[in-house]
Structure 1
Amino acid sequence: MKRNKILLVDGMALLFRGFFATSFRGNFMKNSKGIPTNGIYQFMRYFLDAADKFEPSHVICCWDMGSKTFRTELYDGYKANRDAPPEELIPQFDLIKEVVEAFDMPNIGLESFEADDCIGTLAKSYAKENEVIILTGDQDILQLVDTGIHVAIMRKGQGNYEVFTPDNFYEKKGIHPRQVIDIKGLMGDTSDNYPGVKGIGEKTALKLLQEYETIDNLLENIEHLSKGVQTKIKNNLDMLHLSRTLAEIKCDVPVSCSLDEAVWQYDITKVQTKFEELDFQHLSKLIKTTV
């Protein structure tokens, strides 16, 4: 029996990437109602290209549902460094979901959790009997690479992906996928705004994990570390544990989506009607041969 190939799309990653890739010149594109559409337009270009390349049998799109999550409850500095989204992007959040719906693709999101947690939960559940490919620009998601789960990281330029699999991961990264969580526990994450262990950067974190494999094992052997590293870890022990918790994608959140609802098949007329409403005539040319 042919295994299904399920494409899980990190909606936020594509929308933000699409918005900033086109807006830096002040090109927000607007439809006839004056609503900015540049993020949606570029999202669709990225997405249709990926659907063409990876040829999924099923597609699901996952979203953040607001900035308050269990991670902000644990640490109020989490992502607190981020600016509010530009005003031209705000109306595009709801509108992109309508476009996704026009393709009969499920939009999945859950209050108090991030899109990553939904992606992780669905990926683990589907990978038991199917192939899963996750489309994102977010390196955090690399921790999910596993048997049956590949991650396609979007690189600069359209149609340019770096695909991480269980077979090539160590060669590319020098660690195993699960160690991504521990490396972020040690070095923190500036984009998500948590510090890890003050004074330990990527190089040291990588070296420690290559030697000791996990944070737990590292702590059990702490007396073997250099005095400087010992001091840093002991002084930041609580933040080390907290950072590791913040870094870990939860793969057991209460979301599910029946594959019957996610078959990659759409009504061209419905999609074209939506594209016309947004003045995306050019994109209509890309959809006829996609499915």
Structure 2
Amino acid sequence: MTANKVLLVDGMALLFRGFFATSFRGNFMYNSKGVPTNGVYQFLRYLTDAIQTFGPSHVVCCWDMGSKTFRTEMYDGYKANRDAPPVELIPQFDLVKEIVQSFDIPNIGLENFEADDCMGTLANIYNPENEVFILSGDQDLLQLVKENIRVIIMRKGQGNYEVFDKDNFYEKKALSPAQIIDLKGLMGDSSDNYPGVKGIGEKTALKLLQEFETIDGLVENIERLPKGIQSKLQADMDMLYLSRQLAEIKCDVPISCDLEGSRWDFKEDKVITELDKLEWKHLDRLLAPLKNKPSVSF
């Protein structure tokens, strides 16, 4: 077991999750300047709980840098089904990064790429010599699982995690991590708004990949498939391969983050000085998990 344990945090996933978890009753936690802070507050609850649970030696937070990326250039319908963020969330985008910075956690993002691509790139930079944990609610990231890279999926309720690694992956998903990309290529992704092959759902896609392993293997053996499946693939062949491209996380994004600069070294006074600007009560409760020993060991 290597000494370093690097936690890569999907910042936008935690912020959106935190915002909607706390705002469904209209509780936006405005400060005296009229700035809503509920998403940032719950983001920190998620972050501090994960740090206490998994005990990283290093932490990096990755962010989307706008809605336009190389994927929207490939397919203009990509994520086009998503509504604009609520007005109460917009000022919290910059605010949350300032709070993250007060913890001396690097904020990493690059225009034209998604946070997923940044996490995939950093995970593959770090993993030869370090244990990497990726924290998100996004199952697209499961394709990154391999030696020394685990993906932590946040389930409903705070502190409820499912950890995927190379040893338990097939048992949980009945596929290899790399096959997640082909699964998305076949069935599409309604959340990201790309269709895959019309008429092929998850159950059929899973069965096809278990037999033929990859999309290329499937196409090479298309004559062995039932006529209905053949027709669906032939009708949507271009979209099949485009959907696969959209699903694949890029792991060669031109970014870097010096590992030493991401060492977890919580300075309570510095953080409280920044959090005081948000006028929250009971900061001791919010930061309490950081003073406890990790509850999970790997």
In 1, distance between residues paired with 2:258 and 2:143? Answer: 24
Q: Secondary structure at the match of 2:83?
A: coil
Can you list the C-alpha shifts for 1:14-41, whole angstroms capped at 9, x where unaligned?
0000000011111111112110000000
5+ residue gaps, structure 1, are none
Deviation at residue 227 of structure 1 after TM alignment: 0.4
Contact 1:184 1:244 in 2 (8 A): yes
1:123 is aligned to 123
In 2, distance between residues paired with 1:225 and 1:211? Answer: 11
1:8 is aligned to 8
Q: Secondary structure at the match of 1:281?
A: coil
2:233 is aligned to 233
**Once superposed, which parts of structure 1, at least 4 consecutive aligned residues long, lie more than 3 Å away?**
283-286
Q: Secondary structure at the match of 1:135?
A: strand
User: 1:263 is aligned with what amino acid?
Assistant: R
Contact 2:13 2:137 in 1 (8 A): yes
Q: Secondary structure at the match of 1:134?
A: strand
In 2, distance between residues paired with 1:284 and 1:52? Answer: 15
In 1, distance between residues paired with 2:123 and 2:277? Answer: 33
| Equivalent residue runs for 1:103-182 within 5 Å | 103-182=103-182
Structure 1 residues 288, 23: CA separation in 2 closer, same or farther (over 3 Å shift)? closer
5+ residue gaps, structure 2, are 292-298
Contact 2:2 2:129 in 1 (8 A): no
Query: TM-score w.r.t. structure 2 length?
Result: 0.96
Deviation at residue 260 of structure 1 after TM alignment: 1.1
2:270 is aligned to 270
Contact 1:272 1:284 in 2 (8 A): no
2:257 is aligned to 257
Deviation at residue 289 of structure 1 after TM alignment: 6.1
Contact 1:275 1:281 in 2 (8 A): no
Structure 1 residues 288, 49: CA separation in 2 closer, same or farther (over 3 Å shift)? closer
In 1, distance between residues paired with 2:68 and 2:280? Answer: 33
| Equivalent residue runs for 1:176-255 within 5 Å | 176-255=176-255
Deviation at residue 275 of structure 1 after TM alignment: 1.2
User: 1:5 is aligned with what amino acid?
Assistant: K
User: 2:199 is aligned with what amino acid?
Assistant: G
Deviation at residue 46 of structure 1 after TM alignment: 0.4
Q: Secondary structure at the match of 2:135?
A: strand
Can you list the C-alpha shifts for 1:131-160, whole angstroms capped at 9, x where unaligned?
000000001001101100001100011100
Deviation at residue 281 of structure 1 after TM alignment: 3.0
In 1, distance between residues paired with 2:160 and 2:83? Answer: 28
Can you list the C-alpha shifts for 1:262-282, whole angstroms capped at 9, x where unaligned?
000132111001111112232
Deviation at residue 77 of structure 1 after TM alignment: 0.1
2:96 is aligned to 96
* Matched residue count: 291
